[in-house]
Structure 1
Amino acid sequence: MPAVSFVLAHIDTGKSHTGTNSVTAEHSCSSPLSAACLNLAYYHPNYPPSSPKANLVLASSDSDSCCFAINCKNLFCRDDAFGSVGLEIVTPDSNLPLIKLGESREVIEVILACLQPDRLPDFGNIDFRVLVSALEAAADKYCLVHIEKMCLLALGAYYRTHPVEVYTLASHYSCQWLAKVASKYTLKFNITQPEYQDILTSENYDVLVSLHKSRINISKSIVLSQTIAVESSSYKIEEVEELWAEASEQIALRITRPSNNFQQLFAPELELALSRFPKCAKCYAALLAKFC
């Protein structure tokens, strides 16, 4: 199925149109979509048919299709917008060409807002999924490099709430700084779960697995390398050190995730230690403070 389809929103001028125009030949002027737009049933309020110099209508893929009356010079002002799908061959005449796109109203709003030379979209009020769809449409379908970069920058606001998705998209579109930032926030998730494997590519999955394993090993090494200082003369340092050596091994065995709550990890051994050495509370408190 083609990415876009062409219909003609007919304006009766009293002239007869003949010829082999591919736009008029493929679709009927009486299609429900063109009729809805022609009757002003659902034009976007920011892109009405009365828009100055409007010579082209974009229609969304929604069941109740939303129409956007625009000037194609504005549309093509950056990176030959929509050129990859053949839109540049449309030549407006006394009829108003209408192009049905494969994107929703919300996605088209983002794309057109990014094409405005004097303003930026309000990315703070754009749903994450809409932003992702706009990024994919701009980068993969319409080759809009400018919009691709703007959407990637906007994705940066979601690296805490959607780190796996942001990491995957940033990696795919070669935005390495964003991928690096987002990767750190994937540590709290079990990426072996199916819900995350469905998001990650095999390459990205392998990279994150390596990162998570590295974080686990580093956490274990840090715990095992710690020493404890005896701050009470009531105990022999050898006894306390022996207890800590055993405790640190048990704690390291419980580190199975890259993101850990060290207070919970230390709790069993800390309770045992304080039962044997009640006057050494400061020793363990100082040690725990290094991790929390």
Structure 2
Amino acid sequence: MPAVSFVLAHIDTGKSHTGTNSVTAEHSRSSPLSAACLNSAYYHPNYPPSSPKANLVLASSDSDSCWFAINCKNLFCRDDAFCSVGLEIVTPDSNLPLIKLGESRKVIKVILACLQPDTLPDIGNIDFRVLVSALEAAADKYCLVHIEKMCLLALGAYYCTHPVEVYTLASHYSCRWLAEVASKYTLKVNITQPEYQDILTSENYDVLVSLHKSRINIAKSIVLSQTIAVESNSYKIEELEELWAEASEQIALRITRPSNNFQQLFAPELELALSRFPKCAKCYAALLAKFC
């Protein structure tokens, strides 16, 4: 199955790149990096070329490429995790192998933070788009299973705000518990909208449609199965029961979504009850208790 991608357009880092870390020298080998790209490249302050035992430089895909000097042996991954996915050249300033990756500065920073054996990154505060990009890169490109699991865990903070995206990603990466949680929050959105059609696979869409239809049918069944609880000596009990029988059918017809505002759903019947029983407080109270 192909990777599910929600990666958006390039995220501008908004950072000024000046100082001693700027890479300005000419490189010694021909490469796909132009002179302009080399002149605008800069080292990340936490990964300078002077990093202890640095043996590799990773370059981001940003227009002003950010470089990360790392020691692969000190990272919690295979030594060749990045070497098979990019075009390798030699850096002009440190004579280290350089790999041009397809990820932005922010995404590479997240991946490297997760690979540090002695730190625990604050993945709960990572931007949703960056987190998704890190998940896809770790799982589909670099085969970094533990980062994949960390990113899926962090996605748990977004099932309320991005339920369809989280559900699709969790399903794709076989994270059942997260898919189940996110699926419940999809009940609040219209999954037939084009923006969600572009995200959901046909299989995931069918599952959610089945869930939404089931919730609609259950809501209708609950409304239709209710009875009015009134005392035997209540005023106009037969009319009250007749009104509720008619009202419940009308309410059930208006339930067309899996998530409803019940005050709005029952409002027409409450207005009708006021006109039918203007002087019967008990009758209206019985209906009010049922509707609200």
TM-score range, shorter chain: 0.7 to 0.9
Give the superposition deviation at 1:67: 0.0
Q: 1:24 to 1:146 in 2, by over 3 A?
A: farther
Q: Once structures 1 and 2 are overlaid, which stretch shifts more, 224-233 or 35-44?
A: 35-44
Q: TM-score under structure 1 normalisation?
A: 0.81
d(CA) in 1 for partners of 2:46 and 2:17?
Answer: 31
Contact 1:9-1:97 at 8 Å conserved across structures = no
Give the superposition deviation at 1:172: 0.4
Give the superposition deviation at 1:122: 1.6
SS of aligned partner of 1:185 = helix
Q: 1:48 to 1:232 in 2, by over 3 A?
A: farther
Contact 1:61-1:104 at 8 Å conserved across structures = yes
d(CA) in 2 for partners of 1:242 and 1:108?
Answer: 66
SS of aligned partner of 2:23 = helix
Number of residues of Structure 1 aligned to a counterpart in Structure 2: 292
d(CA) in 1 for partners of 2:265 and 2:5?
Answer: 60
Q: 1:206 to 1:6 in 2, by over 3 A?
A: closer
Q: Once structures 1 and 2 are overlaid, which stretch shifts more, 121-130 or 276-285?
A: 276-285
**1:221-269 CA distance string (max 9 Å, x none):** 0000011122594523221111100000000000000000111111101
d(CA) in 1 for partners of 2:221 and 2:203?
Answer: 27
Q: 1:4 to 1:38 in 2, by over 3 A?
A: farther
Q: Once structures 1 and 2 are overlaid, which stretch shifts more, 200-209 or 271-280?
A: 271-280
Give the superposition deviation at 1:124: 3.1
Give the superposition deviation at 1:89: 13
Contact 2:163-2:183 at 8 Å conserved across structures = yes
Q: 1:258 to 1:291 in 2, by over 3 A?
A: farther
Q: Once structures 1 and 2 are overlaid, which stretch shifts more, 243-252 or 112-121?
A: 112-121
**Structure 1 gaps, min length 5:** none
Q: 1:284 to 1:143 in 2, by over 3 A?
A: farther
Q: Once structures 1 and 2 are overlaid, which stretch shifts more, 225-234 or 110-119?
A: 225-234
Contact 1:7-1:28 at 8 Å conserved across structures = no
Superposed, 1:265-280 pairs within 5 Å as 265-280=265-280
**Structure 2 gaps, min length 5:** none
Contact 1:220-1:255 at 8 Å conserved across structures = yes
Give the superposition deviation at 1:287: 5.6
**1:167-211 CA distance string (max 9 Å, x none):** 000000000100000001000111011111101000000000000
Q: TM-score under structure 2 normalisation?
A: 0.81
